[in-house]
Structure 1
Amino acid sequence: MKHILLILLACVTSISFAQEEDKAQLQALKKANNYVYQGNALAKGDDFISAEMAYRKAISEQPSSVTGAYNLGNSYYEKGNYEEALYRHQQAAERATSKVEKHKAFHNIGNILMKNEKYKEAVEAYKNALRNDPTDEETRYNLAVAKKKQKEQEDKQQEENKDDKDKKDEDKDNKDQKENEDKKENQDNKDQEGDDKEDKKDKGDEDEKKEDEGKPKDEKKDKGDDEKKKEEQKPKPQPGQLSPQQIKSLLEAMNNQEQKVQEKMNAEKQKGVKIKTDKDW
C-alpha cells in the first residue's frame, strides 16, 4: 500500500511538472508571437531597425520559432542585406515542421539566390519549394526564370573560358615564336662574330705580309737566317780532329818550310864545302 502511494505521488508530481513546463512553453510562445507581431508592425512602418530587434527577441524567447526567423529574414531582404536574409531563411527551413512553412522558406531562399546571381542554387531552392507545394504558380514561374538565367550564365562562362583558352594559346604561340626568333638572332650574331673574327685574322695576316715586304732589314735578316741555316748544315769537326782548312794550312806550312830548307842547301853547295884541318906546329 505504501509503495502504491509513492507511485501515485510520483505520477502526480510528474504530471504537475509537465503541466508547469507546458505552461512555460506556452508563455514563451505567446511572448515570441507578440514580438513577431510587434516586428511586423514596425516593418510595415519601414522601421527595420526596431523590427529587427523585435524579431530577435522573438527568437530569443522561442529559439525554435519559425515565424521569427522567417520574418527576420524578410526584414534583411528588404534592406538589401542578402547574406543575413539567406542565413535566417535557411534557419526557418530547418526548423519548419509543416510543408507550408518549408515551401515559403525555400521560395524566399530562391529569391535571395537570384539576387546574388547564383542561378544554379536558386533552381534547386525553387525545386524544394515545389516539392512542398506543387500548386504554387509563382514558384514555378521563378523556377523557369532561374533555369533560363542559369543557361545564359553557363553559356557566357563557356564563351569566356574559350576566349581565355584562345588567348592563352595565342600568347603561347607568340612566346614560342619570339623565343625561336631570339634563338635564330643569337645564332646569326654568333655566326657574324665568327665571320668578323676570321676576316680580321685574314686581314691581319695580309697586312703583316705587306709590312714585311716593305722592310729590307727584315729581308736581310731573313737572308742571314738562310746562310746561317746553310752553315749549320755543313759538317762540323769533332773534338780532337783537324778541320779540312786546318789540314790545308798545315800542308802549306810544311811545303814552305821544305822549300826554304832546299833553297838553303842549294846555296851551300854553290859556295863549296869547308874541310876541317889540323893546325901546324
Structure 2
Amino acid sequence: MRYLIVVILCSLVCPRLLAQEKSYIKKGNALYGEKKYKEAEDSYRKSVAKKGGNVEGNFNLGDALYKQKKFADAGAQFDKLAQSDGKNKMLTAQAYHNLGNSLLENKKLEESIEAYKKALLNNPKDDETRYNLAYAQEKLKKQQNKNNKDNKNNKDNKDQQKQDKNNKNDQNKDKKDQDKNQNKPDQDKKDQQKQQNPDKLSKDDAERMLDALNNDEKQTQEKLKNKKLKGAKLKIDKDW
C-alpha cells in the first residue's frame, strides 16, 4: 500500500478555509500514524467536507478506509481520484495502484489487473505495481485452473451418478424379471408335468384295454394250442 502523500496545493480558496483543511489532514495523519484508522477517517472526511475537497485529504481518506479493510469503500475513493485528475500522472498512477490493491483484497482479480495496467500506463517504471500485476495474474490463473478442475469433477460426479442410476434401474429390472420367473402361474408347472407324465386312463378305457389284452392273449394261446395239436408232419421210415 502507498504511504500517505502530501500535495502542495495552489488554490484561490480562502486562506482560513485552507488552513482548516490542512489542520484536519494533519490531525488525521497523526491518528493514522497511531493506527487509529477510524478516527483518522473521520478527520480526513472533515478535511474534504467542502465540495470537491482536496487531493491530499481524499487520497489519505482512501488509505484509512483500506486499513480498516473497507475495501469496497477504499476502491471507490481511489477510483474517484484516478478519474478526476488526468494531469498529474504520478498521482493517477498511485490512485490506480491502490485501486488495484483494494480490488485484489476484495477478490476481484480481473478488475485489479486492469487497474494495475492503468497504473503502469501512467508510470511504466513502477516496479511495485508491476509485481502486484504479476501476482494478481498468477492468482487469477490458479483460480481459473481450480474452477476448470471443479467443473470437470462436477461433470464426472454427475456422469457417475447417472451411471449408478442406470445400473440401479438395470438391477431392479433384473430382480423383477427374476421374481416373475420364480412366481410363474402353477399352470406352467402343471403343463410341464403334463408333458412329462401323461394323463391316467379313465376306468372304462382301462377296462376296455384290459379286455383287449385278454382277448389277444386268448387268441394267442388258442393258436399255440392248435399248432400243438396238429403236430408236425414227420416222415416215418420203416426199417423192415
Cross-structure match for 1:78: 67
CA displacement at 1:75 relative to structure 2: 0.9
1:117 to 2:96 alignment: no
Identity of aligned residues (%): 36
Cross-structure match for 2:29: 40
SS of 1:117 mapped into structure 2? coil
Superposed counterparts of 1:136-215, under 5 Å:
136-193=126-183, 195-198=184-187
CA displacement at 1:53 relative to structure 2: 0.8
In structure 2, do the counterparts of structure 1 residues 36 and 65 end up closer, same or farther at CA, with 3 Å as the change threshold? same
CA displacement at 1:66 relative to structure 2: 3.3
Rounded Cα–Cα distance in structure 2 between residues aligned with 1:78 and 1:192: 77
The amino acid across from 2:162 in the alignment is K
Residue number among 120, 141, 145 corresponding to 1:130 in the alignment: 120
State the TM-score, normalizing by the size of structure 2: 0.65
In structure 2, do the counterparts of structure 1 residues 166 and 29 end up closer, same or farther at CA, with 3 Å as the change threshold? farther
In structure 2, do the counterparts of structure 1 residues 91 and 30 end up closer, same or farther at CA, with 3 Å as the change threshold? farther
State the TM-score, normalizing by the size of structure 1: 0.57
Rounded Cα–Cα distance in structure 2 between residues aligned with 1:61 and 1:186: 83
Rounded Cα–Cα distance in structure 1 between residues aligned with 2:120 and 2:181: 78
Superposed counterparts of 1:218-229, under 5 Å:
none
Contact 1:64 1:95 survives alignment (8 Å) = no
CA displacement at 1:201 relative to structure 2: 7.2
Contact 1:29 1:61 survives alignment (8 Å) = no
Contact 1:29 1:62 survives alignment (8 Å) = no
Contact 1:92 1:105 survives alignment (8 Å) = yes
Cross-structure match for 1:225: none
In structure 2, do the counterparts of structure 1 residues 188 and 67 end up closer, same or farther at CA, with 3 Å as the change threshold? farther
In structure 2, do the counterparts of structure 1 residues 30 and 61 end up closer, same or farther at CA, with 3 Å as the change threshold? farther
CA displacement at 1:200 relative to structure 2: 7.6
In structure 2, do the counterparts of structure 1 residues 34 and 170 end up closer, same or farther at CA, with 3 Å as the change threshold? same
Superposed counterparts of 1:228-243, under 5 Å:
none
CA displacement at 1:64 relative to structure 2: 4.7
Structure 2: which 5+ runs fail to align? 1-11, 204-240
CA displacement at 1:143 relative to structure 2: 1.2
Rounded Cα–Cα distance in structure 1 between residues aligned with 2:99 and 2:141: 20
Higher relative contact order (CA 8 A, sep 6+): 2
Contact 2:24 2:46 survives alignment (8 Å) = yes
CA displacement at 1:183 relative to structure 2: 2.6
Superposed counterparts of 1:241-260, under 5 Å:
none
CA displacement at 1:199 relative to structure 2: 5.1
CA displacement at 1:91 relative to structure 2: 2.4
CA displacement at 1:198 relative to structure 2: 3.5
Rounded Cα–Cα distance in structure 2 between residues aligned with 1:96 and 1:186: 79
The amino acid across from 2:124 in the alignment is P
Rounded Cα–Cα distance in structure 2 between residues aligned with 1:66 and 1:155: 41
Greater shift in the superposed pair: 103-112 or 33-42:
33-42
CA displacement at 1:196 relative to structure 2: 4.0
Q: What per-residue deviation string (whole Å, max 9, x for no partner) do you get for residues 155-191 of structure 1?
A: 1221121111111111111112212222332333334
In structure 2, do the counterparts of structure 1 residues 133 and 89 end up closer, same or farther at CA, with 3 Å as the change threshold? same
Rounded Cα–Cα distance in structure 2 between residues aligned with 1:116 and 1:23: 37
Residue number among 19, 40, 46 corresponding to 1:51 in the alignment: 40
Rounded Cα–Cα distance in structure 2 between residues aligned with 1:140 and 1:49: 30
